[in-house]
């Protein structure tokens, strides 16, 4: 994990040795907010220019079949109940700056997010809660390395019953699609993941059908009853070892950590063991933690030294297996 400005570190330290060698760049950069955060962030046109200037650096580091995965939230116009389009303009500028393709957009729904923008949601009561973020999957190639068979969700009980009885309602649907007699009878080991990701189920009693190889990083619903049609990732950032250790030592933890399950999903989906992963805005280094668990090589970059110090807790988790050198205690 490297300390400093990510653009500077990439230019001065990484590009010479790691050009075209990084398989996945996954990160949650500062959002285009209309007020200053402790870690520093740009606003308006300044933000769009800053964001677009990152694209050539990332593209140069990426393998030809590599991927960039960026999580970013919405922003609102200053002092107005009007949603900004700055995040969309920034995405287009980012893609244009390095001739990147938008492979697919994912939506991350998180009902635990505080009601925002507060002035228009909880004070004046004229807007709905902004409860999701965008995840953009970008690549230089039309065909980045990806395999959705590595992130299959367990079948719903209904699908398991269908496979068992080997029959279902075939024929033409109102949509015009024709469903063959054997189209859904093969057991493929699970269902293909959807591009709507939940951090808590929309229906409280619905099963969290998370890919089997990601369950190590999240806590699943203990009382599943209803089938899910989306990827449900338990929102466990406040109950993981890192967070507990910060509370124990009365340390103010990073305020906007990426979800471990989200990073694990894309790591499994888009990389293989020993591939190289980079998080240019590492924060408390969830990406490094997940990469280490999944036997990927990794770099993280973070400008706030206190968050780097905190990140050591992740690798001191009991029973955490790693080849890293002995870590110092805080």
Per-residue pLDDT tens over the stretch 122-164: 999 999 999 899 999 999 999 999 999 998 888 777 778 877 8
Residues in CB range of 176: below 8 A, 6 or more apart: none
| Residue 314: Cβ within 10 Å count | 22
Q: What pLDDT, on a 0 to 100 scale, did the predictor assign at position 220? A: 38
Q: Confirm if 301 and 39 have CB atoms less than 8 A apart.
A: no
**Does the pLDDT at position 306 exceed 80?**
yes
Instruction: Provide the pLDDT confidence category of residue 233 given band limits of 50, 70 and 90.
Output: low
If 0-12 CB within 10 Å is exposed, 13-18 middle and 19+ buried, where does residue 154 land? buried
Q: What is the DSSP string of 8-73?
A: HHIIIIIHHHHTTTEEEEEE-PPP--SS--TT----HHHHHHHHHHHHHHHHHHEEEEEEEEEEE-
Element of type H or E holding 108? strand 101-109
Give me the numbers of helices (H) and strands (E) for the chain, helices first please.
10, 11
Residues in CB range of 146: below 8 A, 6 or more apart: 67, 269, 270
Tokens of 6: 């990510």
Q: What pLDDT, on a 0 to 100 scale, did the predictor assign at position 230? A: 43
Domain spans in the chain, listed from the N-terminal domain onward: 2-149+192-315, 155-189
Residues in CB range of 229: below 8 A, 6 or more apart: 156, 194
Q: Which residues of 159-190 are buried (b: 16+ CB within 10 A; e: fewer)?
A: beebeeeeebeeeeeeeeeeeeeeeeeeeeeb
In this prediction, residues 26-30 reach a mean pLDDT of 93
Dihedral class, residue 20 (left if φ above 0, else alpha if ψ from -120 to 50, else beta): left
In this prediction, residues 29-58 reach a mean pLDDT of 79
Q: What pLDDT, on a 0 to 100 scale, did the predictor assign at position 170? A: 75
**Does the pLDDT at position 39 exceed 70?**
no
Q: What pLDDT, on a 0 to 100 scale, did the predictor assign at position 1? A: 93
Is the bond preceding 117 in cis, omega lying within 30 degrees of 0? yes
**Does the pLDDT at position 216 exceed 60?**
no
Q: Per mean pLDDT, which range of 35-44, 51-60, 97-106, 157-166 is the poorest? A: 35-44
Which of helix, strand or coil describes residue 171? strand
Instruction: Give the span between the Cα atoms of 181 and 4, in whole angstroms.
Output: 59
Q: What pLDDT, on a 0 to 100 scale, did the predictor assign at position 35? A: 55
Dihedral class, residue 254 (left if φ above 0, else alpha if ψ from -120 to 50, else beta): beta
Residues in CB range of 199: below 8 A, 6 or more apart: 108, 109, 110, 111, 112, 233, 234, 235, 259, 261
Residues in CB range of 289: below 8 A, 6 or more apart: 242, 260, 311, 314, 315
The domain defined by 2-149+192-315 carries CATH number 3.40.50.150 = yes
pLDDT tens-digit map of 257-273: 888 889 999 999 999 99
């Amino acid at each position: 994990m490297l300390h400093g400005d990510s653009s500077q570190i990439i230019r001065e330290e990484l590009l010479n040795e790691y050009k075209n060698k990084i398989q996945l760049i996954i990160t949650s950069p500062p959002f285009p907010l209309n007020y200053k955060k402790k870690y520093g962030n740009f606003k308006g046109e300044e933000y769009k220019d800053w964001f677009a200037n990152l694209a050539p650096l990332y593209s140069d580091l990426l393998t030809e079949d590599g991927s960039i995965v960026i999580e970013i939230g919405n922003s609102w116009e200053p002092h107005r109940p009007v949603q900004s389009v700055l995040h969309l303009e920034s995405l287009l500028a980012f893609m244009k700056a390095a001739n990147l393709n938008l492979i697919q957009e994912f939506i991350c729904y998180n009902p635990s997010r505080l009601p925002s923008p507060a002035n228009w949601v909880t004070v004046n009561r004229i807007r709905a809660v902004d409860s999701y973020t965008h995840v953009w999957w970008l690549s230089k190639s039309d065909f980045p390395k990806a395999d959705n068979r590595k992130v299959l969700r367990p079948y719903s009980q209904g699908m398991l019953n269908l496979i068992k009885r080997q029959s279902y309602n075939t024929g033409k649907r109102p949509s015009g699609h024709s469903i063959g007699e054997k189209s859904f009878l093969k057991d493929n080991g699970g269902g293909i993941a959807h591009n709507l990701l939940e951090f808590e189920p929309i229906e409280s009693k619905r099963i969290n059908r998370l890919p089997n190889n990601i369950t190590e990083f999240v806590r699943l619903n203990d009382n599943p009853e209803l089938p899910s049609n989306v990827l449900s990732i338990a929102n466990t950032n406040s109950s993981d070892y890192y967070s507990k250790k910060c509370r124990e030592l009365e340390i103010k933890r990073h305020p906007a950590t990426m979800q471990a399950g989200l990073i694990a999903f894309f790591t499994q989906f888009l990389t293989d063991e020993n591939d190289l992963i980079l998080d240019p805005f590492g924060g408390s280094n969830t990406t490094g933690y997940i990469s280490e668990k999944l036997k990927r090589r990794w770099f993280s970059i973070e400008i706030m030294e206190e968050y780097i110090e905190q990140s050591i807790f992740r690798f001191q988790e009991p029973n955490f297996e790693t080849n890293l050198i002995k870590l110092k205690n805080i």
